[in-house]
Structure 1
Amino acid sequence: MSKSDSITRVALKKNTPDVSAAMGSLHAAAVSVAQDAKVEPEILELVRIRASQINGCAFCLDMHTKDARAQGETEQRIYALNAWRETPFFTERERAALALTEAVTLVHDGHVPDEVYAEAAEAFDEDQIAALIWAATVINAYNRIAVATRMVPGAYQPAPRE
C-alpha cells in the first residue's frame, strides 16, 4: 500500500476530546513554566524543531519552523539545525538545550548522559532545565500523535505577532 492509498486514521481530538484537552493543558503548562523560568522562546522553538526532525514529524516541523520564522529565526539556522554541532550558528546555551533535547528524544540510546545534563546545568538554572525537559517531553508526545495519526502538514499559520 503506498502512502497515497493509506487508510484514514483516527481523529484523536474528535474521538478522545478529554485526553486531547488534557494534552493541550499540559502544553500550556509547559509553556507557562518556560516563560516563568525565562527560557527564550527562540530556544523553545529550536527544541521543538530538533525533536520533530529526529522523530520525522512533518506536521510539527511545518508548524514550528513557521512559528520560529514568525519570531525572527533565520532560514540559515533552521536549515542547519539538523547539523547544529558542525555549524557556528548556535550559542553555547542553544547547544546545551539542543543536546538535552536530543538526549531526551533518544532516551532509549544511552538515556540522558551525565555530561549532557552537566552541560545544560552550566547554561541553565534548575527551573530552566525543568522547563526544557517539559518542552522536549511535550513535543515528543505531539510528534508521536501526529505521526501515528498522519496529520497533514501545510495548512498551519502562526498567530499574528502583536
Structure 2
Amino acid sequence: MTAEHRVHLSRAARPAYQALSAFSKTVGGIAAENGIDDRLKELVQIHASQRNGCAYCVRVHVERALAAGVTADDIAQLPVWRESGVFSDRERAGLELAEAYVYIHEDGIPDDVYNRIGGVLSEKEYVALSWILVSINAFNRIAIAGRYSTPPRDDLVGEDKDAAAGAAW
C-alpha cells in the first residue's frame, strides 16, 4: 500500500458500505417520523461535513439541500450561523448539535449545549438528529480516509454512483 493510492473503502468492502448505507436510510426514516424535515437534515449534514473537512460529503449534501429548497444564501451562511439571522431556532439547535458531534472526542456533548438544545428540540428530535450526525460523521471518515476526490459538479457520478444517485445515504 502506498500513499499515492488510497483504498476506496466503499468499493473495497462493499458489504460494510451497504450496511452503513442501510443504517443511514433507517436513520433517515427515524428523522422523518420524528419531525426532522429535509432542510434541517441537510443543513446539519453539510455543517458537520464542513467542520470535519470532508469536501466530498459537503458536495453530496449541498446537492440534496438545493433539491430540498435550501438556498445558496442559506448554505453560504452555515460557517457563520451564530452571527446569521437566516436560521430558525430549531436549525440553530441542530447546527450546534452538529458541532458537538464533530468535536465529541473533546468533551462529549457538554451539559450547557445539551440543555440549550433540549430547550428547543423535543427528545425525539434530539434523538433523530443525533443519529443523523452519527451517520454523517461515519461517512465523513470513510471519504476523508480514502481521500475521495471532489470533482466538478457534473462529474460526481464518476466518483461514487451510489452517492450521486442519492442511494448511499
* TM-score under structure 2 length normalisation: 0.85
Q: Structure 1: how far apart are the matches of 2:10 and 2:68?
A: 28
1:14 and 1:54 mapped to 2: Cα distance?
Answer: 25
Q: Distance in 2 between matches of 1:38 and 1:23?
A: 23
Q: Percent identity?
A: 35
CA distance in 1, matches of 2:33, 2:120: 17
- 1:37 maps to 34
4+ residue segments displaced more than 4 Å: 156-159
**Is the contact between residue 47 and residue 97 of structure 1 (CA under 8 Å) also seen in structure 2?**
yes
Residue among 112, 122, 138 paired with 1:115 = 112
Please, which of 54, 57, 69 is the counterpart of residue 57 of structure 1?
Answer: 54
In structure 2, list runs of 5 or more residues that go unmatched: 158-163
Output the amino acid matched with 1:128. E
Residue 109 of structure 1, CA deviation? 2.5
Question: For 1:68 and 1:140, how far apart are their aligned partners in 2?
Answer: 17
Aligned counterpart in structure 2 of residue 81 of structure 1, from 72, 78, 82: 78
Query: Who is 1:133 aligned against?
Result: 130
3-state DSSP of counterpart to 1:123: coil
TM-score by structure 1 length? Answer: 0.89
Retained in 2: the 8 A contact 1:80–1:87? yes
The number of residues matched between the two structures is 155
Deviations 1:100-138 (A, max 9, x none): 110111112322111211222222221111110011111
| Cα separation, 2, equivalents of 1:66 and 1:133 | 22
Which blocks of at least 5 consecutive residues in structure 1 are unaligned? 1-5
C-alpha contact 2:45 2:61 (8 A) present in aligned 1: yes
Q: Does 1:11 align with 2:8?
A: yes
Matched, 1:90 2:80: no
What is the aligned partner in structure 1 of residue 67 from structure 2?
Answer: 70
1:3 — aligned with what?
Answer: none
Q: For 1:8 and 1:59, how far apart are their aligned partners in 2? A: 17
- AA in 2 matched with 1:37: N
CA deviation profile, 1:75-103 (whole Å, cap 9, x unmatched): 11101101100111111110011111101
Contact kept? 1:66, 1:158, Cα under 8 Å: no
